[in-house]
Chain A
Amino acid sequence: MSPLTTLTPLTVKKPSPARNRLRGGARYAPTLATVGLFIAMFAVGSGMYPSFLSGQVFLNLFIDNTFLIVLAVGMTFVILTGGIDLSVGAVVALSMMVSATLLQQGWNAGAIIVLVLLIGGGLGLLMGLIIQYFDIQPFIVTLAGMFLARGLCYVISLDSIPVTEGFFTGMAQAQIPLPGDLFVSPGVLLALGIVAIAFFVLHHTRFGRTVYAIGGNEHSAMLMGLPVKSTKILVYALSGLCSAVAGILFSFYSLSGYSLAAQGMELDAIAAVVIGGTLLTGGTGYVLGSVVGVLVLGIVQTFIAYDGTLSSWWTKIVIGGLLLVFILLQRLFARKTR
């Protein structure tokens, strides 16, 4: 179909099969390490607390982190191109504020959701345009975006606004039963649906391949005739859209809008992506790895909740420690493959 599809077999053929297998293994290694870590943590938890080993504890990791999963998906796209998006936490808060305020004024839930998605996507698009056309670092542009979104939250209201509207509370309380007395929330299905779409887009479309190509070497990607400009802009629009979806999911979860909500969530999203095996330099990583990264962050919190004696700040220290371990692991693999 596309010139790339026809080229792919050629580039794969070049290295000898044995070397290729080794390289492929090293490519998956950081993500596999994350999966291994997750299984190990779950096993340790089950050994320490009898009630830990249950399907529901596992599913709760999804239920409690739907918004973070969606954020991590958007962030994976941005980081794969070698950029970064610091605005996501603030956009989540803005989405929550907008929906809570408008719900209070009696707007239709569906209209609000569409509006929130437009705001999030529009903000992302705007940041992408500035990054691309004015050549300012993503770090600075998305930082300004973060100030803007957070500032707009303050402008809307400084108070926490409760959400009592039927559709939102319904989504908050709904449980979708699964076999074996288990259940998930509708948000989980939505989040997993987004992950599936992201997976398909990244690995089976021209856009996805361009994302990887830009992260690998932007200049080469441009010389190959790939649509670098539009892809880079779209990636930020996508991340903004994901932030808006995450904001709606977080509204379902917390049933309120608060201007200080989701503070530092951008760091959690970045940490999840890095722990999931994506290199911050771009070009390498998997969206499924980021999902496992979110689950690892979730299990750390579950651990601390189960323990009961550990204070909440241990979460931060452990996440920092995990980040460190994974960065060092990545360095190790990067050296080996070189």
Chain B
Amino acid sequence: MKSLLKHRLAWPVIALAALLLLNQVFRPDFLSLRMQDGHLYGSLIDIMRNGAPTILIALGMTLVIATRGIDLSVGAVVAIAGAASCAYIAASPEPGSPVTAATAVLIAVIAGLALGIWNGFLVSTIGVQPIIATLVLMTAGRGIAQLITGGQIISVSNDPYKSIGAGYLLTLPISILITAAVFILAAVLTRRTALGTLIEAVGINPVASRLAGLRSRNIIWIVYVFSAVCAAIAGLMISSNVTAADANNAGLYIEMDAILAVVIGGTSLAGGRYTLVGTVVGAFIIQTLTTTVYTLGIPPEVTLVFKALVVITVCLLQAPKARNLLSSLKAAPKPAAKEKVAI
């Protein structure tokens, strides 16, 4: 039991289980799933579907944070990707055809690639601190998205495009399947190859890993591109779910949710060791929180206060200092030498 509690995923999983249990107590049919018209329905499916964009972005963010970086621009990338694809569909001669939808997806992914390369260039080649390098795109990005949409909300009606965010395949929402595919891809690519170790090496000590012959620049570049592409796909999901591109509000504050998901999941902002599973659990916690607010009948305007309190509680529980305090009853271990944490 003790060793289980010491596992890095223990607290996030306990928090998630507690939240789900709380919901189950207040609404006995909460955990039940039902089939209707060949689709699975239920609160759990809703949580997963609504959380899909956040999970996707948080996956990219995990790798960025593992290299001691941070990507603030993901919300802007969401807006740009949605704006670009919807603007293309709206302007194309056949706004309803699958080919148009496919091209729109391609455009969004290419936009994500380009923006990721830009962020990676600033961080790895120019050597700008990640937080400022991505702040540039965070600030300018929404402006660019508005430039693309002309300040309007562009609505599109294209069934294949709509299915990305709202469609079903094999009884499951397509957005969940896409997110699962990206998760498996990221997990296999980083854990079955040396890439994951290299990313952690860069995060733990960039100088040492460079001296050890690692091309840390390329690694850093890869994670920013991956993060931006994830954000672009999330942008597709969000815009397709409402069949419109809203340059102002699409993905607003999603970078904050994603960063929180990563931190709650147990990956330190100081870089180094990361856990993709933890991130997914963290994202579920955040999404379940929103659902819990509705289940408990808490007025929606209190959601943010509730979220703030849970976030700070989970962070406090995870903080090594708080844990030391808890275990100091038994023995007083010397706190490890503090390293300056760069964000």
* CB-based nearest A residue for B341: A137
Given A317-B143, A328-B126 in contact, is the A143-B316 Cβ separation under 8 Å?
Answer: no
Interface string of B295-311 (1 = CB under 8 A from A): 00000011111111101
Question: Which residues of chain B have C-beta atoms less than 8 A from A285's C-beta?
Answer: none
Question: Which residues of chain A have C-beta atoms less than 8 A from B133's C-beta?
Answer: 327
User: Which of A162-170, A200-208, A318-326 is near enough to bind chain B?
Assistant: A318-326
Question: Is B135 in contact with A271, judged by CB distance below 8 angstroms?
Answer: yes
Q: How far is the CA of A315 from the CA of B140 in the complex (A)?
A: 9
Interface string of B44-76 (1 = CB under 8 A from A): 000000000000000000000000001000000
Report the number of A-B residue pairs with Cβ-Cβ less than 8 Å. Answer: 143
Question: Is A133 in contact with B315, judged by CB distance below 8 angstroms?
Answer: no
Give the shortest distance, in Å, between B190 (CB) and chain A (any CB): 23
Question: Is B312 in contact with A130, judged by CB distance below 8 angstroms?
Answer: yes
Let me know if B146 is at the binding interface, CB within 8 A: yes
Let me know if A136 is at the binding interface, CB within 8 A: yes
User: Which of B6-14, B34-42, B227-235, B255-263 is near enough to bind chain A?
Assistant: B255-263
B: interface residue count bin: 35 or more
Let me know if B322 is at the binding interface, CB within 8 A: yes
User: Which of A15-23, A114-122, A146-154, A237-245 is near enough to bind chain B?
Assistant: A146-154
Question: Is B312 in contact with A331, judged by CB distance below 8 angstroms?
Answer: no
Question: Which residues of chain A have C-beta atoms less than 8 A from B122's C-beta?
Answer: 324, 327
Question: Is A151 in contact with B308, judged by CB distance below 8 angstroms?
Answer: yes
Question: Which residues of chain A have C-beta atoms less than 8 A from B137's C-beta?
Answer: 320
* CB-based nearest B residue for A145: B308
Q: How far is the CA of A138 from the CA of B306 in the complex (A)?
A: 20
Interface of A is mostly: helix
Let me know if B132 is at the binding interface, CB within 8 A: yes
Let me know if A144 is at the binding interface, CB within 8 A: yes
Given A82-B340, A154-B301 in contact, is the A316-B142 Cβ separation under 8 Å?
Answer: yes
Let me know if B320 is at the binding interface, CB within 8 A: yes
Give the shortest distance, in Å, between A244 (CB) and chain B (any CB): 18
Let me know if B98 is at the binding interface, CB within 8 A: no
Question: Is B141 in contact with A137, judged by CB distance below 8 angstroms?
Answer: no
Question: Is A141 in contact with B308, judged by CB distance below 8 angstroms?
Answer: no
Let me know if A12 is at the binding interface, CB within 8 A: no
User: B-side interface residues toward A, CB under 8 Å?
Assistant: 70, 122, 126-129, 131-133, 135-144, 146-147, 151, 247, 256, 259-260, 263, 269-270, 301-309, 311-312, 315-316, 319-322, 338, 340-343
What are 9 A-B interface contacts by the 8 Å CB criterion?
A84-B131, A134-B319, A135-B321, A139-B131, A148-B308, A219-B340, A314-B147, A317-B140, A323-B135
